[in-house]
């Protein structure tokens, strides 16, 4: 175990090593020896989940372990922590709800609380393509305790929810229709006034089937969980196309849930995050955008530059200049820094920035006056390929300076002998 | 090497040589895929079987000519197939006797001048027949291949042939780094005492005498003069030995000397390159050995453009006195026979070469022929777009170098006017490029190559413009206004890139840039990658100029520009054009771009849309539907 810990110190992002450490520490654990080993196991889980809070399997394992050791309070706390990160996962919600129903049996005093909990779960995963099990549990709960508190009228709620579920396209949609037909046949339906109900439900079946099939075309090409395996470009494209399809055909809440799902599965790639942000920008939901951006940045280990750039832009747009500047201190982007300094009118700082890091590409984009540019170009000490490219590009539009940079312009003449000699 | 025709393919619209029926199938197959050496070998193996099974005298004249055609066709196409030349000569020997076999061999050494193996076969056959051509052929072979590392057999023959006067041969021979260099040194050491000091040392005589403190050969005793000769020849031997040892490093790694189409090995060609580099670095002045080495290397690597260019580059910097002729012949060899049609650098390099040597007419003829060839004129089905446009570009660039900026603007403008039917004929009057030549190019332009003309025209125009002068800027913008709607330009990356960069980084005119990019997104057929590059460029410009940006453009915000990166909900080129119209179009064509599927089945009063609340008391109203009968309708693909 020590060896693995040392390995992990060198390579803290290797899930395989964490897994081995976990196995070894859990092996020693038994009901008899809890006190001795449990702290270690907890430490390992906590550390792993701090690094990878999106690995829902480990959250579930962790909570289940505590549950098996009859530590209900700890288990519940773990579920709550998990739901902070993976709240859009129906598996976690399902496990949590099942756990609650066992740990805290339903009675008159807490049944309203349970109802609210289920509703809150529905607001996160109610449109999920794999939410059938969640609804099954929900409906089971409503029908089992239908007589527990007459004022709450669970029977009616059961009927309403069942009717509602019929319209949600999902993987396993048909059992709900069976239940509905059973309900109609049993004659226990509270509202029986409508004669054509059976026909109406059959028609809903046709529609839901049609929609579920359409979604399945996308779903079958995706793997819906977060893991650390690389994702094929085709899969990312499918996600994007899927989201575009939903944007066009489904209501806003549905699309948001779907986007949350997609960024959960593809967290380490920019594509879906950016698409999500574009969607929010288009709807002018800038507060949500801000929240999503910050979340994305906090979840990412690497490759944050583009996201931070966006956050800076957003803050600039909102005129939060100081926030932007602070962000720049976490991620030095010379381009943005010079732009900002220029906005504040600090040309002296710009010159100094150039002297230290020489980001020539910026001179293509920055509309500094030509004298400043000329001075900057002249100050170059080490003529890199990039420098030559940018200078040539600039000279293209400012021919009056060409004679000051003879060496650069002359090589473009493309002499035959020189060209051929390059092959020798 | 015949003139400047450019056809590496189809030089022999073969008079269909009819073979026996069982060969017809194979013949058709090789005709359809003439580069497939396996198919050819299959054909030849079958021919061999047939020949071996019958008496050569019974073979019909028709079949003989069929075999002849087969081999000729293949070897015309791929002349460096040494092994096939051999098989051809053997089969000729069997069928028609030694005379025609020699005929074949003589053709083979013509085609593969630097294959020592074929020369040996040829010389042996000539010797056997006591042909009077032997002497001449041998001289020829020595002059071509005397510096070939493995040419000892030839030299043996040569020594035999010249046995009356071997000394000059030996004096030359001992300097050449050959595989059997030691043998010749020993032979030389045996005979050299028979000659006078002056005969052997030649011009080096005095220098060597001085080292012995003598002024004339007569002062040396016999022993002394022997000593001088020994020392002299040993010195040559020692230098030669170092060189041969160094060469052996590379020679030992060469596994095949002939062209082999069945296996391709990069390490093999790398070895050749390393070998050549070494030789050039250390013995740059040894022109004969190095050119011979190049020619040898080209036999197995004849499709390798880099090697040809290296060869040309070497000759270009060498002291060769007939540089133009030598290089011209190498250029036309590689361009006409070997380099594949999708590798064109050397072809254009040839044009520049002709230009440099002031052969303007040759250059024009050559490149215009090439344009015609790539452009699929002349009833050939071939149309190679990239080769075609690149050739046009190369020709125009050469012209602009030749005639200078002003005249070039005149030419290209005139081409454009004619092409877009604004004027009836080419009006440009330039001294060095005649109007008929420009007309000839004009007749070979098409919608793709006109884009090249536009690109070069714009770049030239920009190079003489001063952007601080409104008049010059207006000229550039007027060109845009005049042409941007032309259908040809919808797919032109260079045209749009030019104006995006001009308005962006040149003029910093953000509202123009904005308009251009919007137009590109809506109306052009540029690929998504290109459009995204433009958008990125625009984004970088905007974020680099917050100050300007905030002041100038108020209807749109920075973050919106970023948003453009995901063009539309479908990222689909076909729908891109319709993006401006309505979201409905996109919706209807989402699953099958180009096919409108409206009337999708749906529930019209979805609970999902109405913030379904479980705490209400009513049972949901019955659902209402639209288009429910379409749920299983087939997709209306066009008939």
Model confidence band, residue B528 (pLDDT cutoffs 50, 70, 90): confident
- Closest CB from B349, B547, B563 relative to A282: B563
* Per-residue confidence (pLDDT) for residue A194, from 0 to 100: 62
- Closest CB from B501, B569, B571 relative to A247: B569
Provide mean pLDDT across the span A138-150: 89
Q: Does residue B622 share a domain with residue B512?
A: no
- Tokens, residue A424: 């020798």
Span A9-57, pLDDT tens digits? 887 788 888 888 888 888 877 766 667 788 888 888 998 898 889 999 9
* Per-residue confidence (pLDDT) for residue B381, from 0 to 100: 66
The reply to whether B511 falls in a domain is yes
Asked if residue A215 lies in contact with residue A169, where contact means CB atoms within 8 angstroms, the answer is: yes
pLDDT at A370 > cutoff 90: no
Q: Does residue B520 share a domain with residue B404?
A: yes
CB contact under 8 A, B352 and A423: no
- Closest CB from B314, B349, B608 relative to A254: B608
Provide mean pLDDT across the span A162-191: 88
Q: Does A231 touch chain B (CB under 8 A)?
A: no
- Tokens, residue B201: 């040392």
Q: Does A221 touch chain B (CB under 8 A)?
A: no
Query: From CA B355, how far away is CA A263, in angstroms rounded?
Result: 60
The reply to whether B2 falls in a domain is no
Q: Does residue B439 share a domain with residue B339?
A: yes
Q: Chain B: nearest CA to A53, how far in angstroms?
A: 29
Q: Chain A: nearest CA to B612, how far in angstroms?
A: 8
pLDDT at B558 > cutoff 50: no
Asked if residue A79 lies in contact with residue A116, where contact means CB atoms within 8 angstroms, the answer is: no
Asked if residue B193 lies in contact with residue B229, where contact means CB atoms within 8 angstroms, the answer is: yes
B384 closest CA partner among B372, B374, B392, B395? B374
The reply to whether B247 falls in a domain is no
Q: Is B124 exposed, middle or buried (0-12, 13-18, 19+ CB in 10 A)?
A: middle
* Per-residue confidence (pLDDT) for residue B7, from 0 to 100: 39
The reply to whether B442 falls in a domain is yes
| Local structure of residue B457 (DSSP, 8 states) | H
Q: Does residue B587 share a domain with residue B559?
A: no
Query: From CA A115, how far away is CA A96, in angstroms rounded?
Result: 14
- Closest CB from A153, A167, A335 relative to B606: A167
pTM over the 0.80 mark = no
Q: Does A310 touch chain B (CB under 8 A)?
A: yes
HEC assignment per residue over B353-411: HHHHCCCHHHHHHHHHHHHHHHCCCCCCCCCCHHHHHHHHHHHHHHHHHHHCHHHHHHH
Mutate one of A339, A346, A394, A420 to test the B interface: name it (highest B CB count within 10 A): A420
- Closest CB from B465, B591, B617 relative to A156: B617
Q: Which helix (H) or strand (E) holds B576?
A: helix B573-576
The reply to whether B275 falls in a domain is no
Residue B223: count of CB within 10 angstroms of its CB: 8
- Closest CB from B310, B501, B544 relative to A366: B544
pLDDT at B561 > cutoff 70: no
Query: From CA A424, how far away is CA B311, in angstroms rounded?
Result: 8
Model confidence band, residue A329 (pLDDT cutoffs 50, 70, 90): low
The reply to whether B394 falls in a domain is yes
Q: Does residue B492 share a domain with residue B622?
A: no
Q: Does residue B587 share a domain with residue B558?
A: no
Q: Does residue B500 share a domain with residue B366?
A: yes
Query: From CA B382, how far away is CA B388, in angstroms rounded?
Result: 11
Q: Does residue B470 share a domain with residue B588?
A: no
Q: Does A281 touch chain B (CB under 8 A)?
A: yes
* Per-residue confidence (pLDDT) for residue B9, from 0 to 100: 46
A90 closest CA partner among A62, A116, A63, A56? A56
Question: Domain of B596?
Answer: 583-630
| Local structure of residue B5 (DSSP, 8 states) | -
CB contact under 8 A, B631 and A210: yes
- Tokens, residue B488: 């040809």
Among candidate residues B563, B593, B610, the one where a domain is terminated: B563
Asked if residue B371 lies in contact with residue B441, where contact means CB atoms within 8 angstroms, the answer is: yes
Characterize A381-409 residue by residue with b for buried, 16 or more Cβ atoms within 10 angstroms of its Cβ, and e for exposed: eeeeeebbebbebbbbbbeebeeebeebb
Span A164-178, pLDDT tens digits? 999 999 999 999 999
Sequence-ordered alpha helix ranges (H) in B202-344:
205-211, 222-251, 266-282, 287-298, 305-317, 323-333
Distance of CA B278 to the CA centre of its chain: 25
Number of domains in chain B: 2
Span B7-58, pLDDT tens digits? 344 444 444 455 566 777 888 888 888 778 888 888 888 888 888 888 777 7
Lookup result for tokens 């029908």: A143
Q: Chain A: nearest CA to B505, how far in angstroms?
A: 6
Q: Does A163 touch chain B (CB under 8 A)?
A: yes
* Per-residue confidence (pLDDT) for residue A254, from 0 to 100: 93
A303 phi, psi to nearest 5 deg: 60, 45
Residue of A nearest to B626 (CA): A207
Q: Does residue B588 share a domain with residue B558?
A: no
Residue B632: list chain A partners with CB under 8 A: 210
Query: From CA A69, how far away is CA A74, in angstroms rounded?
Result: 10
* Per-residue confidence (pLDDT) for residue A192, from 0 to 100: 59
Provide mean pLDDT across the span B166-175: 88
Residue B619: list chain A partners with CB under 8 A: 156, 159-160, 163, 190-191
Q: Does residue B415 share a domain with residue B549?
A: yes
Domains of chain A by start residue, with CATH: 127-220 (no CATH), 225-318 (1.25.40), 332-424 (no CATH)
Query: From CA B389, how far away is CA A321, in angstroms rounded?
Result: 50
Residue B547: list chain A partners with CB under 8 A: 342-343
Q: Does residue B551 share a domain with residue B454?
A: yes
Q: How is A328-366 classified by DSSP, letter by letter?
A: HHHS--HHHHHHHHHHTT-HHHHHHHHHHH--TTHHHH-
Q: How big is the A-B interface in CB pairs under 8 Å?
A: 175
Alpha-carbon Rg for chain A, nearest whole angstrom, is: 30
Residue of A nearest to B568 (CA): A244
Q: Does A194 touch chain B (CB under 8 A)?
A: yes
* Per-residue confidence (pLDDT) for residue B377, from 0 to 100: 66
Residue of A nearest to B279 (CA): A424
* Per-residue confidence (pLDDT) for residue A106, from 0 to 100: 87
Q: Does residue B487 share a domain with residue B366?
A: yes
Interface pTM, i.e. ipTM: 0.70
B186 phi, psi to nearest 5 deg: -60, -45
* Per-residue confidence (pLDDT) for residue A330, from 0 to 100: 65
Residue B400: list chain A partners with CB under 8 A: none
Query: 3-state class of B151 per DSSP?
Result: coil
Highest mean pLDDT among A157-166, B254-263, B550-559, B582-591: A157-166
The reply to whether B369 falls in a domain is yes
pLDDT at A248 > cutoff 90: no
CB contact under 8 A, B616 and A160: yes
Q: Does A283 touch chain B (CB under 8 A)?
A: no
CB contact under 8 A, B603 and A207: yes
Of A256-270, B49-63, B386-400, the least confident:
B49-63
Of A151-160, A338-347, B167-176, the least confident:
A338-347
Averaged pLDDT of chain B: 82
pLDDT at B60 > cutoff 60: yes
Model confidence band, residue A124 (pLDDT cutoffs 50, 70, 90): very high
Dihedral of CA atoms B51, B54, B57, B63 in degrees, nearest 10, equals -50
Asked if residue B372 lies in contact with residue B444, where contact means CB atoms within 8 angstroms, the answer is: yes
The reply to whether B418 falls in a domain is yes
* Per-residue confidence (pLDDT) for residue B628, from 0 to 100: 85
Span B277-291, pLDDT tens digits? 999 998 888 888 899
Model confidence band, residue B552 (pLDDT cutoffs 50, 70, 90): low
């Amino acid at each position: 175990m020590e060896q693995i810990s040392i390995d992990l110190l060198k390579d803290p992002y290797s899930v395989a090593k964490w897994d081995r450490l976990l196995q070894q520490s859990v092996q020693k654990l038994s009901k008899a020896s809890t006190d001795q080993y449990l702290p270690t196991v907890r430490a390992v889980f906590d550390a792993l989940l701090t690094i990878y809070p999106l690995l829902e399997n480990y959250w579930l394992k962790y909570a289940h372990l505590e549950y098996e050791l009859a530590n209900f309070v700890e288990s519940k706390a773990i579920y709550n922590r998990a739901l902070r990160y993976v709240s859009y996962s129906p598996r976690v919600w399902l496990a949590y709800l099942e756990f609650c129903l066992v740990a805290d049996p339903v009675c008159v005093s807490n049944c309203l609380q349970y109802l609210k909990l289920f509703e809150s779960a529905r607001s996160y995963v109610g449109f999920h393509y794999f939410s059938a099990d969640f609804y099954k549990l929900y409906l089971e709960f409503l029908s089992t305790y239908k007589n527990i508190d007459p004022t709450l009228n669970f029977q009616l709620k059961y009927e309403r929810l069942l009717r509602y579920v019929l319209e949600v396209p999902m993987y396993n949609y048909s059992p709900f229709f069976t239940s509905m037909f059973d309900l109609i046949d049993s004659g226990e339906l509270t509202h029986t006034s409508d004669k054509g109900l059976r026909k109406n439900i059959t028609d809903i079946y046709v529609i839901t089937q049609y929609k579920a099939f359409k979604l399945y075309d996308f779903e079958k090409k995706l793997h819906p969980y977060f893991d650390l395996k690389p994702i094929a470009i085709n899969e990312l494209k499918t996600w994007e196309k899927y989201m575009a399809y939903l944007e066009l055909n489904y209501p806003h809440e549905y699309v948001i849930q779907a986007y949350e799902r997609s960024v959960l599965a593809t967290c380490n790639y920019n594509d879906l995050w950016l698409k999500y942000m574009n969607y929010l920008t288009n709807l002018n939901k800038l507060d949500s955008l801000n929240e999503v951006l910050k979340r994305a940045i906090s979840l990412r280990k690497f490759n944050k530059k583009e996201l931070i750039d966006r956050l800076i832009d957003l803050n600039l747009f909102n005129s939060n200049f100081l926030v932007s500047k602070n962000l720049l201190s976490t991620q030095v982007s010379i381009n943005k820094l010079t732009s900002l300094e220029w906005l504040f009118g600090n040309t002296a700082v710009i010159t100094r920035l150039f002297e230290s890091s020489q980001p020539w590409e910026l001179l293509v984009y920055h509309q500094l006056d030509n004298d400043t540019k000329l001075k900057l170009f002249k100050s170059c000490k080490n003529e890199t390929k990039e420098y030559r490219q940018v200078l040539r590009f600039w000279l293209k539009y400012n021919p009056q300076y060409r004679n000051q940079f003879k060496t650069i312009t002359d090589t473009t003449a493309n002499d035959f002998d020189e060209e051929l000699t390059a092959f020798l | 090497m015949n003139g400047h025709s450019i056809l590496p393919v189809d030089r022999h619209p073969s008079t269909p040589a009819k073979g026996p029926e069982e060969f017809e199938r194979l013949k058709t197959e090789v005709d359809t895929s003439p580069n497939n050496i396996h198919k050819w070998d299959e054909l030849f193996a079958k021919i061999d079987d047939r020949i071996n099974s019958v008496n050569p005298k019974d073979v019909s004249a028709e079949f003989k000519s069929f075999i002849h055609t087969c081999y000729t066709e293949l070897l015309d196409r791929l002349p460096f197939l040494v092994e096939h030349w051999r098989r051809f000569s053997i089969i000729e020997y069997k069928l028609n006797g030694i005379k025609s076999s020699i005929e074949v061999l003589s053709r083979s050494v013509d085609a593969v001048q630097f294959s020592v193996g074929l020369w040996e076969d040829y010389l042996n056959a000539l010797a056997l027949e006591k042909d009077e051509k032997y002497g001449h052929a041998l001289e020829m072979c020595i002059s071509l291949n005397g510096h070939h590392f493995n040419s000892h057999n030839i030299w043996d023959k040569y020594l035999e042939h010249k046995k009356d006067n071997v000394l000059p041969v030996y004096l030359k021979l001992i300097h050449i780094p050959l595989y059997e260099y030691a043998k010749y040194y020993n032979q030389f050491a045996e005979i050299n005492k028979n000659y006078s000091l002056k005969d052997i040392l030649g011009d080096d005589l005095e220098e060597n005498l001085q080292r012995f403190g003598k002024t004339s050969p007569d002062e040396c005793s016999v022993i002394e003069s022997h000593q001088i000769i020994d020392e002299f020849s040993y010195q040559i031997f020692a230098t030669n030995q170092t060189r041969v040892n160094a060469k052996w490093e590379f020679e030992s790694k060469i596994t095949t000397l002939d062209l082999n189409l069945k296996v391709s090995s990069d390490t093999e060609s790398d070895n050749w390159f390393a070998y050549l580099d070494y030789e050039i670095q250390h013995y740059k002045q040894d022109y004969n050995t190095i050119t011979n080495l190049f020619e040898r290397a080209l036999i197995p690597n004849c499709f390798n453009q880099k090697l040809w260019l290296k060869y040309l580059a070497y000759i270009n910097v060498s002291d060769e006195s007939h540089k133009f002729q030598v290089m011209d012949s190498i250029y036309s060899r590689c361009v006409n026979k070997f380099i594949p049609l999708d590798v064109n650098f050397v072809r254009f390099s040839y044009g520049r070469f002709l230009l440099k040597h002031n052969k303007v007419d040759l250059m024009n003829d050559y490149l215009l022929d090439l344009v015609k060839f790539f452009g699929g004129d002349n009833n050939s089905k071939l149309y190679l777009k990239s080769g075609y446009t690149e050739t046009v570009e190369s020709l125009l660039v050469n012209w602009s170098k030749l005639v200078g900026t002003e005249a070039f603007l005149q030419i290209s403008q005139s081409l454009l006017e004619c092409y877009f039917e604004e004027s009836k004929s080419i009006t440009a009057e330039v001294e060095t490029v005649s109007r008929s030549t420009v007309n000839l190019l004009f007749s070979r332009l098409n919608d793709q190559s006109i884009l090249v003309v536009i690109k070069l025209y714009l770049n030239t125009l920009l190079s003489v413009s001063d952007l601080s002068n409104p008049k010059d800027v207006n000229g550039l913008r007027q060109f845009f206004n005049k042409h941007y709607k032309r259908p040809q330009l919808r797919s032109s990356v260079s045209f749009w890139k030019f104006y995006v960069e001009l308005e962006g980084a040149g003029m910093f005119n953000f509202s123009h840039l904005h308009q251009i990019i919007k137009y590109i997104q809506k109306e052009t057929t540029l690929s998504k990658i290109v459009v995204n590059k433009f958008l990125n460029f625009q984004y970088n410009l905007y974020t680099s100029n917050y100050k300007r940006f905030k002041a100038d453009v108020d209807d749109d915000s920075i973050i919106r520009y970023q948003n453009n990166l995901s063009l539309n909900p479908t990222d689909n080129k076909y729908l891109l054009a319709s993006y401006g119209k309505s979201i409905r179009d996109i919706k209807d064509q989402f699953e099958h771009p180009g096919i409108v599927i409206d009337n999708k089945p749906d529930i019209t009063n979805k609970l999902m849309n109405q913030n379904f609340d479980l705490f209400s008391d009513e049972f949901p109203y019955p659902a209402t539907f639209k288009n429910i009968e379409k749920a299983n309708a087939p997709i209306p693909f066009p008939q």
